[in-house]
Amino acid sequence: MTRAEKICARLRSALHADAVDLIDDSHLHAGHAGARDGRGHFRVRIVSPDFEGLRTVQRHQLVYRSLGDLMQTDIHALGIAALTPAEARTSD
């Protein structure tokens, strides 16, 4: 399983996600101090009912908790768009 597949699988499972769209931007950070250890730079858009009633920072904390050890072993930087299903419908 690739790094991206592991990230998506973990998020889908932990957050009961309707959608997980992951973009690997690691190639844009080649030579960057934080990329030298082999961890990647990603952007993710997650649609989940688990985000209902949560503020942005709480949503991000939930995403980080869901990724657990991957934040230490596979991910150096993560941009997060965390939406409820209703928010996703109005943003499309």
Q: What is the pLDDT of residues 61-81, one digit of tens each?
A: 999 999 999 999 889 889 999
CB 17 within 8 A of CB 51: no
Q: What is the pLDDT of residue 40?
A: 87
> Both tokens of residue 6?
């592991």
pLDDT, one tens digit per residue, over 17-36 is 999 999 998 866 566 665 56
> Both tokens of residue 91?
């943003």
Cα angle 74, 79, 80 (rounded to 5 degrees) comes to: 105
